[in-house]
Structure 1
Amino acid sequence: MTGRWGLLGLVVVGLLSGCADRERSSLADGRLTATPGGIDFARVAVFDARESTLTLRNVGRARITVDEAWVEGPEGAYKAEFTHEGPHSLVPGSECTLKVRFAPLAQGGLPAVLVVRSDTRIEPLMRIPLNGAGVDAWARVTPRALDFGRIEADSTKTLGVTLDNPTELPVMVTPKLVGADKDEFVAAPLTVNPGERVELPVTFNPVRVGRKQIALAISPCNGCADVPVQLTAEALDRAVVAEPEVVDFGAVPVDRDAVKASSLRNISTEPVTVTSLMLDGTDASFSQANTGLPLVLQPGEVRAFEIRYSPGHMGPATDRAVYAVVSKRHPTLPVPLRGFGGASELCVSPLTYDFGEQPLGSKVRVVVNVKNCGTDNAGPLTINTLDWTPDAGGAQLQFNHKPIALPFTLPANGELNLEVFYEPTREGSASGALVMTTSAFSAATVQLDFFGRAKAHAPCDLTVTPLLVDFGTIPPGRGAVLGVKLENKGTDLCPVKNIRIANDGGGVFKMPGGELFGGIIYPGDWFSFQVAFQAPFTGGGFTGELQVEQYNPVTPVRQVPLLANSQETCLVASPWYLDFGLGRKDCRPAPREVNYLNACTTPITVSNVFIGPGTTDTEFELLDHPAPPAFQLQPGESFTVGVDYLAQVTGMNLSPLYVDSSDLPIPLMVPLIGESSKKTDKTDTFVQQDVSKVDVLFVVDNTASMVEEHPKLVSAIPAFVDAARNKAVDVNMAVTTTGISAVSGACPGGALGGEAGRFFPADNSRQRILTLGTPNVTQVLQQNVQVGQCAQVEQGFEAMRRALTSPLVNNADDPRTALANDGNAGFLRDSAALVVVFVGDEDDHSPDAVSTYVQWAQQRKGENQPQRATFFAIAPTKTSCATAGGTGTRYADAAAQTGGEVLNVCAGDYAPLLKQVASKAFSAQDRFPLSEEPDAGTVVVTVNGTTTTSGWSYDAASNSVVFTTVPPPGSKVAITYRRACAND
């Protein structure tokens, strides 16, 4: 064992170099003494050692030579040696020293004798007693394993090994590290006093990443066998990692919000403090509002943080979320953020519809517009399923929709008009829910709710004419139309539905306008519809059937047979049909003629010319035609048949004109078509505009992408107000948003982003209808155009229409909402011109056509006075930019139709357009165009209800009434006239 002594034996020693070396006297003798006279080492730990020094002195008169010294006693327990090399010759008075070491190998008393041999005659062998006791003293080591876990490189962790010394002697404990990674650990020797418990610190200071190869051996005392302690440790590059490493939002529609979680996971076995989360801010589309930092992540803990992406521009967007972590190696943890502005987006209108009260047996329809209203760079949107949920009471579902082939894909800006029907089969209330699943962003499942109420009525008394639709003979390749009339002969209303071709004869019969889903015929009323036959080039005989469902339990379905023959004919009719156009009772169309030619090389016999059963048999009359009996028509000869349309029955009238010919088994048929209208007189109304009055409505986009545009609009408002003052315009100003449906409480103004035409702020936290006399009007208008950025779909046209339509436009409070005094009464003035300014970074997504909204606005200010309603727009144009949601055409189209202007939303300054709005000159109107041509001498003009016979004239060239004395502003002008006959 290391440090132990060899076997006990004689120790040959030389003379001490420090002793004097001179000749010994022959007459005298030396005398050797030892100091001390004995050594007691007392108690020494087994395997430990203690040393003592013994001095040999010559007190005689002659030289003494000390030859050697040894110990007689327990083997290996003692060892003696001179402190200097010999020879050890001592002159009188000189001395030399011995070092005696006691290292017990066993417990208990261990006496011994130190023997010194010299050349003295008196005592050549000097015996010096030695004494000592061995004590079994060593430290107890616990635990036998240390797990440092997983810690980040460049950090430090210290664990301890407990050392217990239950003995009465101190012990030296010596640790030893071995292995490839021993340089990353620290452990130092220490002494453990009697009865003491101490901790031996072992420190892990990793600099390299990975699992550690290391072992620890502890010697619990000097000379003791090593005690192994197992060490386990791993160094990490990072203690905290991000999940996912990159937060990728994918494609998100402009103006919509996407929220994803960025999570931190503590993969170490030590707590880690996260102090903050910040975004680099390279793209304002990304944001976060997380609280609760700083925080401590416990070992293995995962904490999620919300990151929001609200694309304010088209195309790719990038940023970084940067976490601050208490770490020497990685004080920051960056997480890349990615997104793409522009995605398929679902717009559905309406989401809820009440069919109201309907008669049993009816079928009523609403058209649901389903649109991919994502930006132009968005991908397609797929409608995957359309399923009706069962009736809550388990009864038969009374709602359905026109089937479409699924899946149905809509390209960007593509739309589908889905027909939804209510077919009540029982009295009382009904409800139904249509669940649509799509691939649209944040609209994977959409529920459409429908309601209705049914009421019973008397069974239908329905007359169908004709009872048989006979197309006679039609040459191959040609088509013809006839009609069917349904008339309610009863005293109660009659619901009819599912009017369709039940048997199309192999595809030759159809309804030109498509099948009729249903309608309600009131007592004494009727309507007609067309049925067509298209003769195939191969000819042949054909039969089919038309069906009409009615509310009559005895005869729920009425069938109308369809017949047709097609073959080559000698008779050639010109024209192949007679269309009399639109007439009225007092102004029927002029008679028309059909010429028949024998195109064959042989004579044919014409035996009859007659009008067959049609929708109304008295409406068409034969005029000039060959009188019966039969006559022969030579090759190349022709004859003419005159037909008069009486136009006495309102609506569409159709009848067949037949000619019996010897070359045909079935008469040749020419359709007779006419329509009679009740309208004879018409009144066009106008309100004379006031050149000094303008009602200006701002419709401002409140979607999330307007972060760049709202500040520019606010900055332009002072220029608008100043220009209005300079023009001395009496102006009403109000603001609404493009939001229709409520979205989020984060929206200001009280309407949750869904103003639906209500002026902003709908909660009346500020004045909503402003004039130039409003205190601080510029500042208030600037505040009112800051409508927030939280809505999702821009429906500017629809918002305008709702803002200026009852009940909003004429009520101080919207009765449909809980907010108080949120109506728009007092804004729209009959005498003022209307200007609407649309501001948005994405095109309009309203459900109706642009022309529909334009015509509505123009009619709102007076028919044939389109200049009194003008649209302006700050919106995307055909030239796109990064902050615009694609290119725009609807706003630009509306502005063009009304004489307004468009400013690209990407422009840096909006003031020029607003100055033009405020400065627009509205001149008084002196020419009032009529919607139809009047009969001469029937024009009557009233101004404010008083008939005016002078100061105006009718200009036939422009079909206008021209005033020489211009009606004053606000005057109500009514021009009544009798519509001229078309054949006059």
Structure 2
Amino acid sequence: MSRRWGLCVLAVLLVLTGCADRDRPAIADGRLAATPGGLDFLRVAIFDGREAEVVLRNVGRSRIIVDEAWVEGPAGAWQVDFTHEGPHSLIPGGECTVRVRFTPQGEGELPATLVVRSDSKKEPLIRVRLQGMGVDAWARVTPRRLDFGRIEADSSKTLTFTVNNPTDMPVEVTPKLVGADRDEFSSDPVTLGPGEQREVPITFSPGRVGRKQVALAVTPCKGCSDVAVQVAAESLEQAVVAEPPLLDFGSIPVDKDSFRPVRLHNLSTEPMTITELKLEGRDASFSHGAPGLPLVLAGGETRTWELRYSPGHMGPAEDMAFFHVVSKRHPTTDVALRGFGGAAELCVSPMAHDFGRQPIGSKTPVVVNVKNCGAANGGPLTIHGLEFHSSDGHPDADVQFNVAPLTLPHRLLPGEEVNFKVFYEPMRVGAAAGRLVMTTDVYTGNTTELDFTGLGEPHLPCQLAVTPATVDFGTVEPGYGAVLGVKVANVGTDLCAVKNIRLSDDGGGVFSMPGGALDGVIIWPGDYFSYMVAFRAPASGGDFTGAVQFEPADPVTPVVSVPLMAHSQNACLVASPRFVDYGVSRPDCAPAPREVNYLNACRDPVTVSNVFIGPGTTDGEFELHDAPATPFTLDPNDGFTVTVGYLAQVYGLNMSPLFVDSSDLPVPLLVPLIGESSKQMDKTDTFIQQDGSKVDVLFVVDNTASMVEEQPRIVAAMPAFADAALARGVDLHVAVTTTGIDPVSNACPGGAQGGEAGRFVPVDGTRPRIMTNRTPDLASVLQQNVNVGQCATVEQGFEAVRRALSPPLVNNADDPRTAPRNDGNLGFLRDEAALVVVFMGDEDDHSPDSVDTYVRFLRTRKGENQPQRMTIYAIAPTASGCPTSGGAGTRYAEAASRTGGEVLSVCAADYAPLLRSVATKAFSAQDRFPLSEPPDAGSITVRVNGSLVTSGWTYDGATNSVVFASAPASGAKVEVYYRRACR
């Protein structure tokens, strides 16, 4: 509302008398007169306005014309106009009026002058002084945020904001609502007198559900800029809800009680009144106690009521509970009630079992399942006792059945079950019968009987051959484990029963049976069985003895014991792999020989005096194909290779120890050899698709003198690799080593004189040696680390990688063989991460061992059965070559092909696109799955997550791989079935 002060301006006529005598002749003239002394508008609020009128009168003796009027003063503060349209021609005594408006634009005194022009000859201009003061008068608004909280739709809530006029002038305050939901809010303007403070209401009346988009813009005075007030509000479909909305009592025995809580939750921020609780009454099985209503639920409060179900009949029951709420939109909050009248049950299977004809001295098990299969709310079932009684006329002490120990009492909740074994161990010829009495607290009766029968048959005493006579684990390094085996063969003419195959002495916990103890085995003449025995070397090392035993059906030798022995200490020789598993083979198609590589990881030479295969389950199944003549001396960092074949002529599991005698050990170092020969010709290779979320990347950079042109390209391409890796968001480990093994000169940086020998650069630790995706400025650090210089003479990339990922480098922060401190590679290789090796050089690899040796070594780093988790790439010479490259990189090409990688030409002018491709492939799911054996053509079938896949894949014979057109999803289980072909 505009505020105007009415101002009555009296035009005082100034009557001027001429200086000449009236009788003296004179020329007649008109003359204007206006309010004398000027006009004072006093105090006016900024941006407000006040008006006054000035009367102009012709006090002369002839007509005059008033031409115009204006104000000289501050721009924008003053305005003047005639109250009537002209022309303004005034006869003597005539008058006209002008209106003057004062609208201050700022604070303080704002003087001005009203100027009027006429055609009077003597005084064409008259001036009137104007005076006024601008006052900063506006209301103060608090608070600047209003939160209506959450209220139910179709209700309303009013909040207020405070406006305060600290001035001595009235101000007009106008609230305005803006936003998509402004129509659900209302507020009116107010006028504040001088010094007045007032609460201005704003009402929220939602009709739509959801959070509101609205704000309040308050104009604190006429013409003032808006003051923003944030408004938060949300409307709910229903304020009071039941948790849960369906109360399911489950199955309850008839005439038993079950009490279940139901909660009412006030989702709103306003108090809600609950007036009463009523049941619909469809089924009298449901009831409730005194509800204690009415009551008020505070905003956000939860209250609990207990409802009762006592089934008065079998079968399903349903009802509804209604909580009455003071609410326009939802006057009741409903809870569905459900139950089932019935009783819990004890389920046992089998209730009876016939073990049939079994040899005297055998031990045959059957698994008994006991389950609480009663109602979900029927309560627990407890087994209190298991006791065998004879049913064949013999005393209970002579019963030939027994039960495996079960900790009693054993409690089963509804749906839970327990399995235990019942054994028949015939001790006499003829029929046997027994009953197992189970004592429980089931309401139908506290005892349940299970019946067992069997027939004992006589056989000749067992004649067995046990190999080896002693299981000797030789030397196993502390912290590592090994597995060997025991073979028990029936060399007699009758079947042999063997039972209770178990550890009789575990050597203080260092020996174990990976498959667990065996209850009993029946061995037919000429047949045998093998079982595994494991040794886990403690960190402290030492010498250990133990024993495994079994009980054959032989009165002369009722117990056979096989001694176990092992030694543990740190060894100079490091074997890779630490065990050789030939998998499943068949006699007509023996697997390819495997290599074991040994490296002297000590600072001193070591003398190797013998390499041999020790006693195993079947001597002669494993044989040395290639081993250096002994004795010989192995210098520090030198190595040698042993090739071992597996004939696979004897069906079943075969295990033997490969031993190496060295001058630093009192007993030979062990590498277990494991193979299984089977009549089964089919094979299944199983893969789990990697997700690329964790990747360990090792760059192996050629540091020979010929790398003058290529190394700058490698350095320039590193940001492309880093950017691609970071963009994919992988959990990255990345390191750099060189192809150099022996120190040459200080022309190569990093402190190793070009002979890193697998140690990550820089060996002197002047920069981070193991980088991650969190390394600051990864690209720059990587550029510095691949700038390895040109001083070495021989490229041994494969050998450098083997050393980098073998003890002592891979599992030590410091290489104990070298002078620099903290030059080990500990922390780079992670069991759960995929491994990518990228070789970069202008010549092929010249490492001492075969490509197959190095590929197998790298695969063992990630698991022999998961070859897709290790990939080799190379930036190396290709067949086309270029003037700066040294022949084709055939060894790199073979390794890349066998692991699903690829070779990129070192002759390219820019390696950045190539490294982006490496990053994309290395950090993506695999589409190529190398098979462990060559298949017969046409025998391959593929399943993904158990479903047969008949298209979208091909077999690549060159790499012996199944290749998908579109890579299976991360985590997918890929199974490739095929008939093995002989190579």
| TM-score normalised by structure 2 residue count | 0.37
Mark the structure with the bigger radius of gyration: 1
Name the TM-score, length of structure 1 as normaliser.
0.37
Higher relative contact order (CA 8 A, sep 6+): 1
